[in-house]
Every structure is written in structure tokens, then in C-alpha cells.
């Protein structure tokens, strides 16, 4: 959009050179360069690169690095509970869905049952405890 506006102002300047057309062209060109720098910074951040080190405005390179990084993050296969590997997207998504459904739909027992399952009888009797407290 800015590029088309800049081309239009350049054509106007060629047909009728004036200071106002020149100022418009310079202002639009500055806006265009600012957007180019912003786009460069955006893609460099997406590619996880340090732009200060590269000092480059090679957006094509940054986009390629982002694409490669995205493909490295792709889950190719998942091992099921029975030890088999799933490789299709449908199987993998089904495994994830079942796993999280099981986690969030588990029945939690009442607190009394939990306490009873962890309660152990005391191994030290009252008499033993009195003897231990004597100096």
C-alpha cells in the first residue's frame, strides 16, 4: 500500500516537480522504510535470531529460518500406553484427546477415604512415649 502511494507520488513528481510533491515522497518513503524495519524485526524475532549480530535486512532468510524452526517443532509420532507408535495426525490427536479426557474426568475419592488410606497405626505406644520423654 505504501509502495503504491510512493510510486504515485513519484509519477506526480515526474510530471510536475514541486517541493510539496518532493516532501510527500520523502515522507512516504520514510514510512515505507519504517515498515520494512518493523517487518524485518518481526521476522527476526520469529526466527529467534539476534539482528544486531546479523545487521541484515534479509527478510527471506528470516522467514526461511522461521519455517524450518516450525517444522522442527512438529510432533511426528507419539507412543501410546501399550507401547505402539502412532504416526498419523488422527491417531496422535486421538491419543492426546483421550489422555487429557482421562486426566480431567478422573473420579477423586472423598477426603475420608484418602485419609484412611494414608493412616497407619502408631508403632510407639503411650507407655513407650512416656519412657522416651523421661530424662
What's the predicted TM-score (pTM) here?
Answer: 0.36
- Dihedral sign (CA 57, 58, 60, 66): negative
pLDDT at 89 over 60: yes
The pLDDT tens digits of the residues spanning 14-66 come to 777 778 877 887 888 888 888 888 887 777 776 666 555 555 566 677 777 77
Is residue 95 predicted with pLDDT exceeding 80? Answer: yes
Task: Output the pLDDT for position 43.
Answer: 72
Q: Is residue 9 classed exposed, middle or buried when 0-12, 13-18 and 19+ CB atoms within 10 A define those classes? A: buried
List 97's β-bridge partners, or say none: none
Confirm if 43 and 23 have CB atoms less than 8 A apart.
no
Q: What is the pLDDT of residues 96-114, one digit of tens each?
A: 888 888 777 767 667 777 6
Confidence (pLDDT) at 19: 82
What is the pLDDT at residue 37? 83
3-state SS record for 36-50: HHHHHHHHHHHCCCC
> Grid coordinates in use for 62?
528470516
Under 8 Å between Cβ of 21 and 12: yes
Amino acid at each position: 500500500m505504501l509502495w503504491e502511494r510512493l510510486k504515485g507520488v513519484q509519477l506526480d513528481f515526474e510530471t510536475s516537480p514541486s517541493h510539496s510533491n518532493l516532501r510527500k515522497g520523502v515522507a512516504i518513503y520514510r514510512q515505507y522504510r519504517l515498515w520494512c524495519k518493523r517487518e524485518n524485526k518481526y521476522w527476526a524475532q520469529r526466527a529467534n535470531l539476534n539482528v544486531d549480530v546479523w545487521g541484515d535486512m534479509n527478510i527471506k532468510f528470516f522467514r526461511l529460518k522461521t519455517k524450518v524452526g516450525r517444522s522442527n517443532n512438529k510432533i511426528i509420532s507419539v507412543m501410546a500406553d501399550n507401547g505402539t507408535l502412532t504416526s498419523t495426525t488422527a491417531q496422535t490427536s486421538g491419543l492426546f484427546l483421550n489422555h487429557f479426557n482421562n486426566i480431567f474426568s478422573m473420579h477423586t475419592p472423598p477426603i475420608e477415604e484418602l485419609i484412611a488410606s494414608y493412616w497407619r497405626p502408631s508403632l510407639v505406644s503411650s507407655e513407650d512415649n512416656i519412657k522416651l520423654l523421661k530424662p
